[in-house]
Amino acid sequence: MSIQEQAQKIIDEFAIFEDWMDKYNYLIEMGKSLPVIDEKYKTDQYLISGCQSKVWLSAEMQDGVIVFKADSDAVITKGIVNLLIRVLSNQRPDDILNSNLNFIDQVGLKEHLSPTRSNGLVSMIKQMKLYALVFKTKMEVNG
């Protein structure tokens, strides 16, 4: 599934919620169901600093796509981390670099991506794109 298709799927899932509470209950579920990152990645090396909540992110190249795994100590942050992983993991570096993440706005969670929230999400997105750039460069160098 392309980034766009994944994003649309999430928008459709959220469309059924009538009030914020249902939406957040769903987000909390998503947070709890995120496959937990391997403990070996929960170190400072993979930590993306955010002063309110912490996010850990790892990335691996597999058959031309990047596989992201992530975790957070706050479950709502983790729910949003899950959405970002669903959209950006298993995608090609170029597609990740060209993606926009407007779907977060469309499902009404934009406030969590404000830099002043310092929950680690903004830095996580930056870091994902940085990984994409690094893997793309590596691929080009290696031919």
Partner 1 sequence: MAVNFDVNNIRKDFPSLHQSIYGKPLVYLDNAATSQKPKVVIGAISEYYSTINSNVHRGVHYLSQKATDAFEDARNHICQYLNARYSHEIIITKGATDAINLVANSFGKKFLKKGDEVIISALEHHANIVPWQMICIEKQAKLRIIPVNDSGELRLAELESMMNERTRIISVTHISNSLGVILPVKEIIKMAHNKGIPVMIDGAQGIVHKKVDVKDLDCDFYCFSSHKFYGPMGVGILYGKEEILNEIPPYQTGGEMIKTVTFEKTTFNDLPFKFETGTPNVADMIGFDKALHYIESIGMENIEAYEKELFNYASERLVTIPGITVYGDKCERIGVISFNLKGIHPYDAGTIIDKLGIALRTGNHCAQPVMDRFNIPGTLRASFAFYNTKGEADVLMGAIHKVQEMLG
The residue type of 24 is: Y
The reply to whether 119 sits near partner 1 by the rule CB under 8 A is: yes
The reply to whether 28 sits near partner 1 by the rule CB under 8 A is: yes
Return the half-sphere exposure (C-beta side, CA atoms, 13 A cut-off) of residue 3.
20
Structure tokens at 13: 């899932």
- Per-residue binder mask for partner 1 (CB under 8 A), 67-86, x = binder: ------xxxxx---------
Provide, rounded to whole angstroms, the least separation between the CB of residue 123 and partner 1: 15
Angle between helices 75-88 and 3-15 (to 10 degrees): 140
Stretch that binds partner 1, among 9-17, 51-59, 91-99, 128-136 (CB under 8 A): 51-59
* Number of residues counted as binding partner 1 (CB under 8 A): 17
3-state SS assignment for residue 58? strand
| Residues paired with 58 in a beta bridge | 69
Examine the residue annotation and report whether 14 is marked as an active-site residue of this protein.
Answer: no
- In the complex, which residues of this chain contact partner 1 (CB under 8 A)? 20-21, 24-25, 28, 51-54, 73-77, 112, 118-119
